[in-house]
Chain A
Amino acid sequence: MSYDTEEEQLITIKQFWSRHGNKILSVVICLILSFYGFRLWKQHTVNHISEASDLYQQMAELITSKQFGQNVTDEQHASFDHLFSTLEAEYADTSYMEYAYLLKVKQAIVKKDIQQAKTFLEILISKGKIADLRILATIRLARLLVSEGEIGAKSALVALDKIKNNITFNLLYYEVLGDAWFALDDFKQAHAAYKQAVDSADGQDDFHLLKLKLDNTVQVEELTE
């Protein structure tokens, strides 16, 4: 299509604008709104996560203070619980909620409330979104169960069996497996599991307790002759 004069071009543009102008304007406005909307949403998300991170960090600082190991005052427990409740009420959709559950388990152990510790670990196993944390929670639950004796050790074996095809923590998995067999007086299986834990250590050598367990379950080689 060719135009002879600028007037003709102007008329064509005007006609085009009267036909499609509203649609173009709508699209442009939609694009601008979407862009700013997206930016606002992104900023909101960053702020939301940052606030959750701050709360979690405060919880972590409380729990790592030396006193938190023992002799925790009621005031300290209350501050910790308050931070956790805020996180649970307003930031349950963030990953920090899952980390906070791990800290809450530790607090329950300090309070010697094993049942509550197990409950939090079970919540993490069933609802957690981070796969590695779900596996870690399973291993920590198995550790708790083993420390309860023979019946607990059997439950620990069942729990560990559920993650046997998806082991993220090799050393820990086999160490707890060894602990479970040991609790059931099966020293041969315990030793084999501890051996596997040491073999999967990948160059680490700072596992004093594991070495003690391994040495403690060495079996006498029976004479074959």
Chain B
Amino acid sequence: MLQLMRNNLNSWITKVIIGVICFAFTVWGLETLMMPDQTGTKTITLVNNESITQQQYQRVLQSVQHQFAQKKQNLSPDKMHQLTMKELINQTILIDFAKKNDLMISDNEVDQKISKIEAFQENGRFKRENYIDVLRRAGYTPASFRDNLKRDLLVEQVQSALTQSFFITDNQLDYFLKLENQKRNVQWTILDTAKHRKNQSISSIEIESFYQKNQNQFMTPEKVSVGYIVLRRTDLMNKIVVSDSDIETAYQSYVQSAKDKFKPEYRKIELNFTDVTKESQMKLANKLIQELQKGGSFETLAKQHSNDKKTADKKGYIGPFNVDQYPDVVKNAVEKLKPNQLSELIVSEEKIFIFDRMDAGHPVIASLESKRHDLVKDIKITASIALFEKKSQLMADLSFESMTLEDPAKQLNLKIQNTAFFTKKGEGVGVTQHAGFIQAAFTEDVIQGRNSDLIILSPDQEIAVLHLKQHQVSYQKTITEVNSEIKNNLLKEKTKQSLIEESNQIILHLKQGKSFDELDRIQKLSWQIKNKVSRHEKDVPDGVLETVFKMPNPNQSKSRSVARAMLPNEEIAVVVLNDIILDIEEKSEEGLKNLFRFALGRTQGELDYKDWLAVLNKKAKIEHKIKMDSL
């Protein structure tokens, strides 16, 4: 057989067989590269050839949703998507900039940040078990979390390079304060709206014409009212009964855990030879140990003499002994210490140490009675989480199988509640202000009479299912329905035009140089005069005040500085600016000035950054790979 193969080594059949084998090996596994990714790393957008993945999109979307839920603001899914994409594109642009300019965050920096995150700490110290546990619950691996954190820190670094380096000089601050504190001398007259309104009339032809031209304005929005059931974890928790044996088991577990976690605790005094001689430090150390042996306060002496400033501030307290931080000579001495025992002088190559073991040799364990309340609470929380998960699944199944809410409500012992009519914008009260709830109410399935999918009102806390009660489609109101509304609007518009015409006349007279007496002879007006008006003046009507500080400086022109001001209640005023007073020295205290400098510097720094980002955005090459519906 082998000889046969050798003989035919150069024949075309052999070449084809080898070719097929080579091809099979080459393409093996290619399908995993070509197939759509299932783990969320699929690219949805390319920004300057940097990928934005589906996973990143989901994370930022969740964060945006969380932000708005906290503010109790309701945003449409489109708006939510836009904000998420904007945030991601900005981040990616900055990452691209950082890469191109060789900027990076060190592993050391990432480690420091992680160790400072409170969720990973226990008793103020980083705990690896907490770290792993929190990450797992949030859906991260340590590596993916580090990558994300590194990315966030890099974005922050690039951003803060502009914002934090901003400066305000004394001259700039003085100029700002002069502008902010400037005063203006002003007079104004509010025109008689009632008189103008009385002179207007609206014909039915005008109403008809307006109605025909603006039919879109008179469409009613689509509305629904729904019934709904809500499952709350807190309700489940309140119904859980905890037996004495459960408490006993939990207490035993607490005791065991306290014993397992127990580590001896120490405090130390550390003297180094870097700035002073070893002899003088030995002298000091001997003096300190004698004082301590006589009953001197370790805390006071550590605070006064220890060269390790970090622990000196904590009166020498270091907590459990970290073997990696000390040479063997220290390690050996410290490990021999018994509870409440003070060490002799421990001398290493560079330092002298005195250690004091503080603990009693066993953990402090609270009694069952003092722990009872916490234990019951913990048991209830743990049980309610599992129960909530189980009932959520049941609620999803029952709602899917049933065509009404009756069955899931009955089986889960929930009360069916009803909403009033609400539109796609929501109503701003109760469940009808929740974006997810509103969105679910207008889905095709619900409109056709089926129960909605589960709606997460609050993650792991509150879920709902809704069912349509009534549906009002959008329709056009008749002219009779909107007659008075149109009439009122037209009347307002005509009155406004008439007021504007009168104000134009007054402004023209004043600009032409007519005195107020001359003007008074033409038409009677009541002028209010107020000098030294500040930007925050309370006695000047809104609208007038706003206009006053946008008016031209009368000292820079031969003409009068006159303007029209629109007031919030649809009144119109004519405003004359007589003078600007810049030379008033506002006596700002130094502290207040510094506060202004800090706030102004921060705002202006952020402006620098946003301005730069806007330009980078314009230059960026953005390529969307997936439509929003597919996300």
A→B interface (CB under 8 Å): 2, 46, 49-51, 53-54, 57, 60, 63-64, 66, 69-70, 94-96, 99, 102-103, 105-106, 109-110, 112, 114, 117, 129-130, 132, 136, 140, 143-144, 147-148, 168-172, 187, 201-202, 204, 206-210, 212-213, 215-216, 218-223
B103 touches A53 (CB 8 A): yes
Q: How far does the Cβ of B563 sit from chain A's closest Cβ, in whole Å? A: 9
Interchain CB contact under 8 A, A70 and B594? yes
Q: Which of B276-327 contact A (CB under 8 A)?
A: none
CB-contact partner of A60 in B164, B171, B560, under 8 A: B164
Pairs across A and B, CB under 8 Å, 17 listed: A50-B108, A51-B106, A54-B106, A66-B598, A69-B594, A69-B597, A69-B601, A105-B167, A106-B166, A109-B167, A147-B172, A168-B612, A171-B607, A204-B610, A206-B606, A209-B179, A212-B179
We find that the number of chain B residues with CB closer than 8 angstroms to chain A is 57
Residues of B within 8 A of A2 (CB): 10
Q: Which residues of A contact B608 (CB under 8 A)?
A: 136, 169, 172
Q: Is the CB of B598 within 8 A of A220?
A: no
9-residue interface stretch from B124-132, B134-142, B155-163: B155-163
Inside 8 A of B171's CB, which chain A residues have their CB? Answer: 147-148
Q: Which residues of A contact B161 (CB under 8 A)?
A: 60, 99, 102
Query: Which residues of chain B from 61 to 104 have a CB within 8 Å of any chain A CB?
Result: 101-104
- Contact call A53/B104, Cβ cutoff below 8 A: yes
Q: A169-B608, A219-B557 are in contact. Are A60 and B160 (CB under 8 A)?
A: yes
Q: Which residues of A contact B169 (CB under 8 A)?
A: 109, 114, 143-144, 147
* Residue in B107, B164, B166, B556 whose CB lies within 8 Å of A187: B556
Cross-chain contact A169 with B172 (CB below 8 angstroms): no
Complex CA–CA separation, A60 to B160 (angstroms): 8
| B170 touching A112, Cβ below 8 Å | yes
Which of B219-227, B393-401, B477-485, B547-555 lies at the interface? B547-555
B108 CB to closest chain A CB (Å) equals 6
- Could you tell me the distance in whole angstroms from the C-beta of A10 to the nearest C-beta in chain B? 14
Task: Let me know if B106 and A204 touch, CB within 8 A.
Answer: no
CA A210 – CA B180 in complex, angstroms?
A: 11
- Decide: B615 and A169 in contact? CB cutoff 8 A: yes
CB of B332 within 8 Å of the partner chain: no
Smallest CB separation, B506 vs chain A (Å): 14
List residues of chain B with CB under 8 Å of any chain A CB.
Answer: 10, 101-109, 157, 160-162, 164-172, 175-176, 179-180, 182, 511-512, 549-554, 556-561, 594, 597-598, 600-601, 603-604, 606-608, 610-612, 614-615
Interfacial chain B residues near A219, Cβ < 8 Å: 552, 556-557
Q: Are A54 and B108 in contact, with the CB atoms below 8 A?
A: yes
B176 to chain A minimum Cβ distance, whole angstroms, is: 6
Report yes or no: A172 in contact with B607, Cβ–Cβ below 8 A.
yes
Q: Which of A60, A63, A103, A220 contacts B557 (CB 8 A)?
A: A220
Q: Is the CB of A64 within 8 A of B552?
A: no
Q: How far is the CA of A212 from the CA of B179 in the complex (A)?
A: 7
Query: Is A218 a contact partner of B550 (Cβ separation < 8 A)?
Result: yes
- Closest Cβ of chain B: how far from A163's Cβ, in Å? 13
A6 to B201, CA, bound (A): 115
Check A208–B603 contact: CB distance below 8 A. yes
Are the C-beta atoms of B106 and A53 separated by less than 8 Å?
yes
Q: Decide: A223 near B106, CB < 8 A? Known: A66-B598, A106-B167.
A: no
Which B residue's beta carbon lies closest to that of A171?
B611
Provide the residues of chain B in CB contact with A207, threshold 8 Å: 603, 607
Q: Whole-angstrom distance between the alpha carbons of A132 and B608 in the complex?
A: 12
For B556, what are the chain A residues with a Cβ–Cβ distance below 8 Å?
A: 187, 219-220
Complex contacts, A95 vs chain B, CB 8 Å: 101-103
Bound CA–CA A140/B169 (angstroms): 11
CB distance from B580 to the nearest CB of A (A): 8
A53 to B150, CA, bound (A): 12
